[in-house]
Amino acid sequence: MAGTRAALLRQCPLLLPRNREGTAYEGFLTAQGRDFHIRILLPMDFQLKNASIECNWHLKKILHGYRHILKQRLHSCPDLVSFMVELKTVLEIALKNTQDLHIPRPPEYYSCLVRDLEVLGWNKVAYVDTDLTTVKLKAEDSCGRQHLIILKLNAKYPTEAPDCLVDFPVQFAVSWMPQSSLIDIYNQFLAALESLKEFWDAMDEIDGKTWVLEPENPTRSATTRRIAIGTNVSVNIEVDPRHPNALPECYFLGAEHAVNPLRIKLNNNMHSWDPEISLLRNLQDLLEIDFPSRAVLEKSDFAKDCGICYAYRLAGAPPDQVCDDPRCGQPFHRACLYEWLQGLPSSRQSFNVIFGECPYCNKVRRSDENE
């Protein structure tokens, strides 16, 4: 938590924590020499996709056309620091385009843009706004997946490159010269799609053949998957989009007696990872398991409701704590369990870690609010 706050302070020195838990931040976001008031509220499980962002009407108006982009970034960024970097980038683009709206475009701007679109082909155009300042182009990669690139053109086009927004897990940087055109951007877009083919192939196989608990509806930029292994047992993987066939970071969730053997197998078999076979096949070989199949099992077979709030999702997140007693194995949301243990007169607390009895089997267990 201290490391996160320090990194956040470096990126946004005017954005400060409002509570000890690190779930509320308030202050100012600086872009183009201007400060914008902002408040960020995180859920107790720190899931960014369920964060609440509050700002004044002026900033809300500036970012209005970028809401879907910010929503994607909330789902794909691994932490608050990464999201704030993305937010500042989007805000810079939005401010630049807002300023450009008041700059009259010369006749050459429109003739050049229409000519470029005609040469590119209108069949590749998904959307053009009435001001001819925003263009969405569509493309299909070699596997038939559909993709969009959003272009925000400034008044100096084609002398200056448009701002490009894509749903990629890596940065998309456009190479541009004064004589460049939309065709050059489109070709670079196609090349970038092919460079990410193996990554999307690996993620699509996981999404199609296993039960993914999180994210529920992954974007193309999402690099994590929480895959069900058994009842209240899952593994969270973080895949490197540049090296999708490499061993990903793995974090197991579930009761200790269930996940410890999986950790041991992963460590013992790590040397046998084969980059020539698929990511999913490698994971199954290393863990010596078959992931529950979507063709055979239903999600309800291993996704159980929280034993305290009796719901599967709390603020969008499924239960991620499980009682360690093999005879119990009841799942809980971390926030629910922490609140339950806090209310027990027999519980004891050390900093943010609280110890108390499981509400189902009375086994003493711990809960870390910020774990």
Owner of token pair 């209108």: 122
> How far apart, in whole angstroms, are the C-alpha atoms of residue 298 and residue 294?
7
Give how far the C-alpha of residue 55 lies from the chain's centroid of Cα atoms, to the nearest Å. Answer: 22
Identify whether the C-beta of residue 142 lies closer than 8 Å to the C-beta of residue 190.
Answer: no
CA distance 336 to 303: 17
pLDDT in tens, 74-105: 877 878 888 888 888 888 888 877 766 566 78
- Give the other-Cβ count within 10 Å of 182's Cβ: 25
pTM, two decimal places: 0.67
Give the length of the chain: 371
pLDDT for 344 beyond 70: yes
pLDDT in tens, 251-294: 898 878 888 999 999 999 999 999 999 999 999 999 999 998 87
Handedness of CA 319, 206, 302, 253 (dihedral sign): negative
Is 185's pLDDT higher than 60?
yes
Q: What is the per-residue pLDDT for 227? A: 92
Report percent pLDDT > 90 for the chain.
33
Q: Is the dihedral of CA 264, 270, 271, 274 positive or negative?
A: positive
pLDDT at 368 over 90: no
- Tokens 């009259």, located at residue: 104
pLDDT above 90 (res 240) = yes
Ranked by mean pLDDT, which of 183-192, 286-295, 322-331 comes out on top? 183-192
Per-residue pLDDT, averaged over 231-252, amounts to: 91
Tell me which H or E stretch contains 213.
strand 212-214
Over the chain, what is the mean pLDDT?
85
Torsion-angle region of residue 271: left (phi > 0), alpha (psi -120 to 50) or beta? Answer: alpha
Stretch (H or E) spanning 25: strand 24-31
- Please tell me the least confidently modeled range out of 14-23, 74-83, 355-364: 355-364
**91-95, 212-216, 288-292, 314-318: range with lowest mean pLDDT:** 314-318
Q: Which tokens belong to 63?
A: 């970012």
Of 110 and 1, the structure prediction assigns the larger pLDDT to 110
pLDDT value of residue 9: 76
Q: What is the mean pLDDT of residues 212-237?
A: 87
Residues 6+ apart with CB under 8 A from 77: 48, 83, 86
Direct distance between the N- and C-terminal alpha carbons of the chain, in angstroms, rounded to an integer: 10
C-alpha to C-alpha distance for 346 and 75, rounded to whole angstroms: 39
pLDDT at 119: 94
Contacts of 202 (CB under 8 A, 6+ apart): 239, 244, 245, 278, 279, 280
